[in-house]
Structure 1
Amino acid sequence: MLKSYDELRKVDVKPFCKERDGIPYLNWAKCIELLRKHGAENVYFEPIPDENTGSSLRMTNVIFSDKNGVTNRCYETRIKVVIDDKEYIMQSPVMNGTNPVKDNSMSQIRVWNSMCRSFVKCVAIHTGLGFDIWVKGENAQEIEIPDTLQKLASKSKIDTIKSLCISHGLDGDAWVYRNGKTWDTLTEKEAAQMLNALKQRYGDE
């Protein structure tokens, strides 16, 4: 029987990790091995194909271009994770480090890597195994923005955000309103956070 969440979270997975972009990464095969070592009898994951294409790669219908004219879509994979009598579904973006994979560098290995990363993350979320390396990894990717940036965002910065939202098929108005703000009350700090979020997801400069 698989150990509890609290017990598995205490398992030190660092000796089994490799570093990628300065962040510890647990290999999918080692993840399965550790789960079995701590009580699991049946562990695997498999892709859930896109209902329309039959492909393991899922994509939006919206095509956009970056500043260099490279076309892209939002690409994701979805997998089913089975651990003994439990099943979990995990959907994740296809990423290259902290940047999205674009059309000119998409490959089968990118899709496979996305599913493997999704599996390890799903295991961490639901079982606790390796959860702390994800906490540290997420914190490492956050960019600190000074709290002093409380003045209202400049018109040029707001125009930039609106333009990027349009190019990526995002509803900028809804994004702002969901956070209890309007374009007129958006601060420099909040605008910087939005731009950072866009950069992290789409690679915009």
Structure 2
Amino acid sequence: MADEPSDASNADGGGGSGDALAPAMVALDRQRPEDAERVAAEVLRADPKHARALHILGVALTMQGRYDEAVDVLGLGLQVAPTMPELSIQLGYAQLSRGDCANAKVAFARALGISPHPHDALFGMAKAHQELGENEEAAGYFRRYLTNRPNDGGAWLGLGHCLLELGELDAGYECFRTAARGDAKRYGAALTSLAAAARGRFWLRPRDAARFFRESQS
């Protein structure tokens, strides 16, 4: 499943029912998409064209792996509110999750054209290009994303993979080192990811791995 965007919208898409959707937002934050789905569905029974509720429902369906349903719901949302960037972003992630990378790029491109805070769209566009083997394009989007989100370890790992594929080994390895900084969880993720990467590295002795990640190419 593809990484999903954060839910950054504060817009109430229809008729002042934002308070009614507050429990759905709490449920999403607590990784309870079934509860969020139920709340959004209740709002939509009263107002079938409530764009905010359609967005939340699309997020909940995506989190449950029901990607085709999510795409349909988010498509309806875009008919109602074509300039609501969160709908395009979530549509892109739902399409990306079901392997439809080409249409995901279309959705993310639409979001980039209308969103004042396009970070999630940049990350999604990077992932879509990467899945298609378009590593140079993916690297460009990862770099744009990291300009404003420099502490995102997952994005550094993504950029590192792209650079290794492009033959930029030193720069790629340095991305993995950057991703590993901070805590043991990030270090473990970087170590596992690098071992699985094309032109990656693997060590039998933990101290050799630790030495590599302490090195700096700067």
Instruction: Assess same fold via TM > 0.5.
Output: no
Structure with bigger helix share is 2
Q: TM-score, normalised by structure 1?
A: 0.30
Structure with bigger strand share is 1
Q: Which has the higher contact order (CA 8 A, sep 6+)?
A: 1
Q: TM-score, normalised by structure 2?
A: 0.28
